Structures are given as structure tokens and as C-alpha cells.
A and B are shown apart, each in its own frame.
Chain A
Amino acid sequence: MRVMIATVLLASACLFLPATCAQQTRNPGSSEGSASPAPNPQLVLREGTEVPLKFAETVYSRTAKEGDVVEFVLAEDLTIGNTVVAEAGSRAIGKVTYTKQPDAWGNRGELNVRVTFLKAGKTKVPLRGATGPVDAVLVVGTPVKAFVDADSEVQPLTPGTLVEAPAGTEIPADRIRLANGKTVRLMVTETVSSKTAKVGDPVKLQVIDPVKVDELVVIAGKALASGTITEVKPAGRAWHKGGVVLRLDSVTLVNQQQVALSAFSAIKGGDTHAAFDWTMAIVQSQGLALFFLPFAPLQHGQQGTIPKGAVMEAVTAGEILLDRASIIASQPPPSEIKQGPASVTIYYPKGGNINTVEIGGKISINSVAIWCGSIRLGQLKRGRKLTISLPPGKYWFRVLKGKPSTLLEAKEGGEYYLRTNIEPLPSLNRSWKFSLSLVERDVGDAQAADTEPVERKNMLDVSTIDLAQLQAVV
């Protein structure tokens, strides 16, 4: 009997010993030193941690396409406390989100790149951050400031490293952490032009989307934010474009505390299409316009304008611990769910001139016809708005017959704004691009506030029209 039990024990030992051995071989670093090191504590790269990156390749607006992957490298070691979690030179990637190719008329290209991920050891850390709409080229070494987009568990690069937790990583229960680099979407509430603006002028902005932390609103929608004009370059002769640089300073939290913002928005005047205009003028006047060509440089460039309702993104600068009680006490009331028909406002903003091919002349497309389905709603003049009530459903709106339609999915009690856009196209035929764009409610509300309601004689009474005709797909 004893022999049998001994056999069983020996056999069991044989079964479990290899597993232990295997574990030892799989654990790197265990061969050094007799005592096996304690497992590394979990390292968390907190949301908002600043990640200094630089471009690892040159990107040209001429060749880049939206969606192209762009390489970045980490500019310096990324650490948590005293532990390096990603070494300088680690890979990061981004994507081209916007490109505008340089055209034959000498207008420069533009491109925008958004940072997406960092490789910290074997972990893919989500990042946020982007280059602004900048010049035509982003060269190797151009710095980009990015932030960790969400808390990410990472491993120290050297296994067995003694990790010293950074001070203040634990958030007390009575506090809320507003992470560094939290994105805040803002809207300019007054038009800024390089013609009238002066350096140091304050600019008012308002928050579009509320910012939440732990399901609590920290920055409310429509909260005030402020900025300052830091550079003004008026438009000059010889088609020199004007420009304005706006620095975004601070935003007000729900508890009325001010938080610093970090972002710049540089706006340049639009393209004059002067080269195109002159070419067309020479062609159409059978060369007569050549006599006026020496005076061409007397033409002014366009002013740089930040229109009312312009949307820009900023990020909070620095990490802040907020008093939870005061944030809870200042929570905005929940938005009411409206019932009944949806309200649709179609507006034609006042600003903007449309160049014609005639030298120095302007045509103003003073009014446009607005169509909904197969019904012509009315004639909308520049600086006017047309507001209609529609039952929930799908509607196709367009400017002029035969132009591309814009789909609006109206919901119960919804409030929608459609902006009329008319842009000249630099093509050999005299042509313009007409479109209606669905804009965000706050933006539409601000921009439509500057327009007058359309006269009754110029619009139809929608309540008398068959719904099927309004919802017709044309």
C-alpha cells in the first residue's frame, strides 16, 4: 500500500514539476539573481498626458491623399514617474485628414494631419492632436504636440524595473480630474476681419459641445470662452492676402472657474482667382484687356476674415483637479425633449462677394430659389432667412433646380439650419458652385441671427402643400 501511495506522489510530482520549469523559462529576467522579481505594478498612461512628437517623413499637399498614413517619432522619452514606457524615437502614426492641392493659378496647397496612435512597447496608445490647416508642406522634424486620448495600460520597457508611482496619480474621491489636452470645440460669436481688427483685441467665443468627465458636465454647451488677436496683416495691393492670428485664451467651467486653453487659429484671406480672372478677361475681350494688364498689381488681395460661427478646436492646457461637489451643484438642467414638427431655417449669409470674370466687377447673385422635394419654397435673397415647420421625415433640399440635393432627416421637435453657399469655380466656363449645407444648431443659430426673415410674398405656405411632394426624391 505504501509503495502504491509513493508511486502516486512521485507521478504527481512529475506532472506538476514541468509546468513550474516551463513557467521559469518563459519568465525573462528570472535567470538573473536567485529571487524572482515581483511582478510589475500596472502602469497607466493617463488621458491628457502630453506626447511630444515630430514628423518622421515629409508630407506634401501635392502628393498626399486623405487617409494616407503619416509617420511620426517620439521626440523624447515618455515616462510615468521614473519609468520609461516609450523611448525617444518610438513610432507614432497619423492620418492625412484634409488636403487641398496647389492649382494651376498659383494658389498654394494645404494639408492637415491628425495623430492617431503611439507604439509604447507592445501597446498601441490612442492619441489626439493635429496640425492646423497649414502650408503646403510638413517637413521631417516638424514638432507636433499630441495627447493620450484615453487611459492606456502600458508596460515598462525594462522588465523588472522598480516602478515609482508619480506623485498625485491617485485622484481623491471628492475631486474630478480635467485632463490636460481635453478637446473643446468653440465657435466665434463675432466676425473678425484683418481690415478692422487690431493686435490685442479680445474675441468672444462660445462652447459648442459640452465636455464631460465621469458623466458630469464640466464645460457646458454655450459656455463663454475668450481669445486675443495676436497678429493682423491687412490685405495689400498686388493680391497680397490679409491675415489674422487668433490665440484662444480661456474657457469658463460650469463652476465659473477659468481654464487656460492652448490653440492658435491663423486665417488667411481667400484666393482672389486674379490670374484666372485676367486670363478669362483677355480671352473674352479678344486681347483688349492686355492694355489694362500693367494695372493688375493695383488690385487688392482679400482680407482675412474669421466669420461669425466659425468653428475651431482648442485643448485645455494643464491638468486640473476640480471640486466634485461644486461641479455637481452647477450641473446644467437636462435639455428638454421637444415635441411637434421640426423647425428648418434656410439662410443666405450677408458676407462674401462673388468675383466675376469681368475685371474689378462683381456680380451679386442676390437671390436663389430654394427647393424642397418637387416644390419651390421661395426666393431667398442675400441676408435673408426662411423658416418652415415640417413633420418628421426625410427631405431633399436644394438651391436652384437640377443642383445637387442635401438630405435632411428631420426628427420630432428638431431644430435645423441649412446655409446657402455659392462659390465661384476657377473653370474656363463662367460657373459657380451652389450648395446647401447642414450646419450645427449653434452655428446656424448665430449666423442666421444676422439675417432678416424672408418677405411673405417670396415664400409658399408649407402647411398647404402635400407632404409627398415635399418628401419627393428629385
Chain B
Amino acid sequence: MNLQLRIFLRLWGTCVFVLGICGFLCPQSSPAPGGAADNPVTAFVFVQRTKAHINYSKSEVFHKVVDDVYSYLATKDVALAKDAFGGRTHAEDEMPISTVLNIARDANATYVLYLIVDRPITEWIKVTVRCYDLSGKQLWEESATGGGKWTGIPRRHVILDRLHQLLDKRLGQPGLPLIVAAKESSQQAPTDQK
């Protein structure tokens, strides 16, 4: 056999060997299906309007709260789960919590942040945040209320600021996972499995 063919075969063999080693390593580094990497810790946020708010307040007020909550969570880099199937974020009609949990499961969320926008008799607006896990167990609850009933001044901004302060304390905790933490958890998961 001539020298050129020998050199070619040796070179080819070396290349294939190196590629083979790489091939062995690559699938091992890819995450296992259904593992934590596929399901980073996220929260599904759902805003519900109460009957009292429907009766005694305006739809615009409710939608302003929805927008405010979503923009607040976005600025704080909270890892949110999106409902790709129905695109649900809120309900003005009555939706049972079981349906909300069903949507959250479908969106591969870890937690449900259930916000209730209410209009109690003595307040202009009351926003309650309840955090559930997917089994429906309530983990925590916060609520922001404000006066203004007797002064006649709507205090939506004050209530929302209060709500932000309450949620600030819970950032990074169950119910309000941060995007960075969610990424870290998904990267750590395969090493944990080892």
C-alpha cells in the first residue's frame, strides 16, 4: 500500500475516534426528559375579579390591576409560566380554583399566584394574593387594602404600592421564583442526578 493511502487512513481513523469520543460525551450532558431541566421552577399568575368588584367598580380598574401586577413581576424578573393553549391570565367571571390549577398544570408551572381583586364595602379596592402549589395547598397569603371610602378618593396606586412592598419580601421564595434561580436550578439538576 502506498504511503499516501496509509496517511489518509490514519488521519481518518484519528478524526473518527475524536468525533466518537465527543459523541459519547454529548448525549450524557443533555438532560433527561421530564427532569428538572425541562420544568424550571415557574409561577402561573391568575387574576380574578370578584362579584362585588363587578357590581360596584369598573372593568378598567380591574384591568389596570392586571397590567400593573404583570409589569411588576416582569420588572422583578419573576419566572412566569405562560398558558400557551388558552392564553389565560385573568377572569372577570367566576372561575373555580380547580380550573386555575388545571391551567397552571397545563402551563407546566410549579406554583400558582392567585390574585383576587375585590371591592369590599368599606374599601375602594382590595387585592389579595394567594400562593398555591399544584396540589391546591395554600402556601401563603398577602393582602393589600386601603381606605378612601370616606374621603372619596380612589387609592388604587396606594394599594398597588403596598402590594409591591409585600411581594418584594417574598421574591425568590416559593410562589415568586426568579428567572436566574430557575435557570440555576435547571442547570444544577443533571449534576444532582449524578
Contacts and interface: CB of A to CB of B under 8 A. Distances in A.
B and A form one assembly: yes
Interface string A1-36: 100100110111111011101100110100000000
B94 A58 contact: yes
A178 B17 CA distance: 60
Contacts of A19: 23, 27
Contacts of A264: none
A403 interface: no
Interface stretch (A63-71, A201-209, A215-223): A63-71
Interface string A86-97: 000101010000
B96 A14 contact: no
B9 A8 contact: yes
A140 B23 contact: no
B27 A18 contact: yes
A146 to B, nearest CB: 15
Nearest to B62: A63
Interface stretch (B84-92, B109-117, B142-150): B84-92
B189 to A, nearest CB: 15
Nearest to A64: B93
B93 A60 contact: yes
B29 to A, nearest CB: 11
B96 A57 contact: yes
Contacts of B10: 4, 7
Contact of B96 (A28, A56, A117): A56
Given A8-B16, A57-B99, A63 B59 contact: yes
B152 interface: no
A323 B16 CA distance: 62
B121 interface: no
A117 B85 contact: yes
A11 B1 contact: no
User: For chain A, what secondary structure do more than half of its interface residues adopt (helix, strand, loop), or is it mixed?
Assistant: mixed
A348 B24 CA distance: 80
Nearest to B21: A14
Contact of A91 (B49, B86, B91): B86
B135 interface: no
Contacts of B24: 14, 17-18, 21
Interface string B93-113: 111100100110010000000
A212 interface: no
A119 interface: yes
A12 B94 CA distance: 63
Given A4-B6, A12-B16, A28-B34, A58 B102 contact: no
Given A26-B33, A28-B33, A58 B16 contact: no
Among the interface residues A28, A60, A71, which one has the most CB atoms of the partner chain B within 10 A? A71
A414 B94 CA distance: 49
Interface in A26-74: 26, 28, 56-60, 62-64, 69, 71, 73
B96 A140 contact: yes
A175 interface: no
Contact of A25 (B27, B86, B92, B106): B27
A26 B95 CA distance: 38
Report the contact-size class of chain B (Cβ under 8 Å from the partner). 35 or more
B33 A15 contact: no
Contacts of B120: none
A373 to B, nearest CB: 41
Q: Chain A: interface residue count, which band?
A: 35 or more
Contacts of A350: none
Interface in B1-25: 1, 6, 9-10, 12-14, 16-17, 19-21, 23-24
A124 interface: yes
A57 B20 contact: no
Contacts of B26: 18, 22
Interface in A352-400: none
B85 A124 contact: yes
B167 interface: no
B16 A11 contact: yes
A215 to B, nearest CB: 33
Contact of A18 (B20, B85, B86, B93): B20
Given A15-B23, A119-B106, A69 B88 contact: yes
B93 A63 contact: yes
A57 B16 contact: no
Interface in A215-245: none
A300 to B, nearest CB: 33
Contact of A62 (B1, B19, B54, B86): B54
A119 B85 contact: yes
B34 A8 contact: no
Nearest to A93: B86
Nearest to B91: A57
Contacts of B21: 14
Contacts of A73: 99, 102
26 contacts: A4-B9, A4-B13, A7-B13, A8-B9, A8-B13, A14-B17, A14-B21, A15-B19, A17-B23, A18-B27, A28-B33, A56-B96, A57-B96, A57-B99, A58-B95, A63-B49, A63-B92, A71-B86, A71-B102, A73-B99, A89-B102, A91-B85, A119-B85, A140-B94, A140-B96, A140-B99
Nearest 6 pairs of A and B residues by beta carbon: A14-B20, A22-B27, A11-B16, A18-B23, A57-B95, A11-B17
Interface of B: 1, 6, 9-10, 12-14, 16-17, 19-21, 23-24, 26-27, 30, 32-34, 49, 54, 59, 85-88, 91-96, 99, 102-103, 106
Interface of A: 1, 4, 7-8, 10-15, 17-19, 21-22, 25-26, 28, 56-60, 62-64, 69, 71, 73, 89, 91, 93, 117, 119, 124, 140
